């Protein structure tokens, strides 16, 4: 049963896409936060004021990068 599920291309492709998306999203988030904290911006300001636009941008960038990664596969 498990082998038949693994062979379904839709499930396999979707799970790989989700895995890459989560990896790219977490990496971008970590890098941006580290960069902004390294520049001396207050972490509370990052979470409260800059948070929503920043994470929306990270989500769109993550989707774009994930789609580019999956094109190669």
Segments making up each domain of the chain, as ranges: 2-72
Angle between helices 9-38 and 51-72 (to 10 degrees): 140
If one compares 61 and 51, the residue with the highest pLDDT of the two is 61
- Residue 3: the pLDDT is 61
| The model's pTM | 0.74
- Non-local CB neighbours of 50 within 8 Å, separated by 6+ positions: 36, 41
pLDDT tens-digit series, residues 2-56: 566 556 666 677 888 898 899 999 999 899 888 888 988 887 777 777 778 888 8
- Residue 69: the pLDDT is 86
């Amino acid at each position: 049963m498990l082998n038949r599920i693994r062979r379904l291309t839709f499930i396999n492709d979707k799970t790989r896409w989700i895995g890459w998306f989560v990896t790219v999203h977490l990496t971008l988030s970590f890098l941006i936060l580290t960069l902004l904290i390294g520049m001396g911006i207050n972490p509370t300001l990052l979470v409260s004021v800059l948070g929503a636009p920043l994470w929306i941008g990270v989500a769109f960038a993550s989707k774009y990068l994930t789609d580019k990664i999956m094109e190669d596969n």
